[in-house]
Amino acid sequence: MFDKELIEKIRARFPRAEKDFNGNIRAFFDNGTGTLVLKQAARAEHDARINCSANIGGVFDESKQAMKVILEGRQAVADFLNAPSPETIISGESATSLVFNISYALGKEFTGRENVVATDYEHYTNVSPWEELKNQGKIKEVRYARVNMEDGTIDLNHLEGLIDENTKVVTISAASNFLGTKSPLEKIGKMAQKVGSYYFIDAVHQIVHGEIDVQKLDCDFLVFSAYKIFSSHGSFLYGKKEHLKTLKPFKVKTAPTTAPGKYEWGTRNQAFFAAFSAVIDHLEWIGKEVQHLYDRKFSESKGRQRLLKIAMDAIQQNEMELSEAVLKGSEDVPGLLDMPRVTVYGLTDIQRLKERVPTFSFDVEGISGEEVAKRLWDEGKVAARSGHFYSLAQDLHKKQTVVRISLVQYNTLEEVRGFLKSLKAICESR
């Protein structure tokens, strides 16, 4: 989907896409942990910090500008998610803090008889807050749907069977950060709606890889982190207006009594909002670059929102090519599927790449994950990572130190080829 010229334009917008701060030419494949920062986002964050560092609520220009930047940032997130209004967008320190915030507010409604349904491949950010409700006696249990070990997909029949009249929250990762599997969000949402439960989506690992439309998904809440999509540390949460109005989160007495303010602990960082606005501008620019390929597709959306949908669709198509290259390789170097001594976790069927994001966790027989990651860096200048990625699925697989690579829009087929050559040399070294 992305031609060579567009790839070069995209990479030019990321100062560290090719070289790190030491001048090392390298392939950055650790995007699942946190992406590289967009140049325009860093500049916008800097400018907001310098030009409007005053707190909001004042009558003077710097204070008014700070408020304007925050409002524009909320609108940018709303446009990106197709949320109905910026008032449905909550900001926070992290996805973890936001999920805990909402879980505590929901817990005030529960009686101790309820259950929460999740899956076996959730990130612990989407596990611990719900388990805490159980520990406090706010709910009876957290139930986990099985994941098919062969392809890393959710057992939907098991999931549906776990949902009953006492299910008050169905919560799901949009994509597994360990297996790379994408969840069938619309199907799961309908299961939740049948029993009238809240539908909560953890989109942290999916957000950079494809379209998220909260109105189409009809979810009640959705959370993601800005540093997973080219911006600074901090996170956003979407909530339906009616829930944000009626829920009672923990807050100080003098905080606002309406959303979004009543959910936000402390003063907002205008520079954070400025940075994310720049990311949305970047995605809109990609949409403009490729919109000639889309004819009438996404015509139900207009203006900026249509361009954002086009951009995320094009990004997904491009990443499918990268995923195929990782799994299949090329004429002179095998992919992960044919690499000697390599075991890949998750979905590997080339015909089903739409069901996964370009995140690949793997083992090399006889070589520790730490050594593989170190040698990929020392010998191939590939920035990969080994360890635990806060995934429940990793614990269930009893794999604490797998190697993981995760690719995004600025990665290239040439980088994939270099990674595979380096990994092949490692595999053949013992």
Write out 257-288 in H/E/C secondary structure.
Answer: CCCCHHHCCCCCCHHHHHHHHHHHHHHHHHHH
Q: Tell me the two tokens of residue 272.
A: 């954070």
Give whole-number Cα distances, 46 to 50, 80, 194, 271, 398, in Å. 6, 23, 47, 7, 43
What element of type H or E holds 65?
Answer: helix 61-81
CA gap 355, 40 in Å, rounded: 31
Q: What is the mean pLDDT of each run of 10 residues along the chain (430 residues)?
A: 92 97 97 98 97 92 96 98 98 97 97 97 97 98 94 96 98 97 98 98 98 98 98 98 97 94 94 98 98 92 95 98 97 95 95 97 95 97 95 86 96 98 93
Given phi > 0 = left and psi -120 to 50 = alpha, else beta, which region is 295? Answer: left
pLDDT in the model for residue 1: 67
Domains of the chain and CATH, by start: 4-39+317-427 (3.90.1150.10), 43-279 (3.40.640.10)
Query: Residue 153 carries which DSSP code?
Result: -
pLDDT in the model for residue 430: 65
pLDDT in the model for residue 400: 79
Looking at residue 62, its amino acid is: E
